[in-house]
Structure 1
Amino acid sequence: MIGLAGAAMLAACSTQAASEAQTAPVLAESAVHPESGLEVIPLTVTTQGGEEHSFRVEVAATAQEQQRGLMFRTAMGADEGMIFPFTQPRMASFWMRNTVIPLDIIFIGPDGRIVNIAADTTPYSEESVRSVDIAGAVLELNAGRSAELGIAAGDMVEW
């Protein structure tokens, strides 16, 4: 259990690694992010009111990619983000160590529904933000983007 908690702590916004970007890279239709080298895929959030919001997200699939996450990034486009799919659903805990930009951390249940959102997280903070229930994935967007688009717990996320 302690091993899972430790692994979950590392798989945060700051999934530890370094990259230095001055501006948000423009994502073409390519399937690879120009800065991280991660696969970029479409992701849709459908609100309970039926509104759809489309994003292009980097996939942090491996433990190493999840440890690096968005650390040291200085910008991200409004409709960009990063998805952290878990091989086994679990209670998730993230932190903002070495993460420069504030983020909304969206915990997604195994059924694809948003469990909870840690909104406007503080850059560089080592305070844990946690899922309130089992998560199958975590989505990170720019801070405030969830509120701006009306994204909330119970909404459906598909990728």
Structure 2
Amino acid sequence: MSFDVDLFVIGAGSGGVRAARFSAGFGARVAVAESRYLGGTCVNVGCVPKKFLVYGAHYSEDYAVASSFGWTSGKPQFDWPTLIANKNREIHRLNNVYRGLLENSGVALYEGHARLLDPHTVEINGQRISAANILIATGGWPQVPDIPAANMRPRPTKLSS
């Protein structure tokens, strides 16, 4: 049977992009679908934005003791819009890095919500694409079971000295 691609990856987070790139590197015809943003959770709403916000929050502590390390400066001022703009700029930069990785590997990128029609057919933006193999790399969402105390947080434990 003839297929449009050898591998169709649904999801362009870190795992999906890596699988697509490596498969294309071995000569496979590969396509990827992403409905939200390239790079997945870590790049867009997890690790990267968290680091910007945490570093921004802790900088005041470092600044407070900077003079003991020989640094001098004027009165510190914080600008929330600048922090957020720089975080967003870095996320956008990383989205483009992921796009470039796919394009430079010869992977076809489809932006939209992919839907499985059968074991070898994906539909995206009204277009049907047949694939010898389909990889679902969409990540996951937590699900809290409906049992008593499911939403209780564990109490912190005291470490012995």
Structure with bigger strand share is 1
- Max radius of gyration: which structure? 2
Settle same-fold status: TM greater than 0.5.
no
Name the structure, 1 or 2, with higher relative contact order (CA <8 Å, separation 6+).
Answer: 2
**What TM-score comes out, normalization by structure 2 length?**
0.25
**What TM-score comes out, normalization by structure 1 length?**
0.25
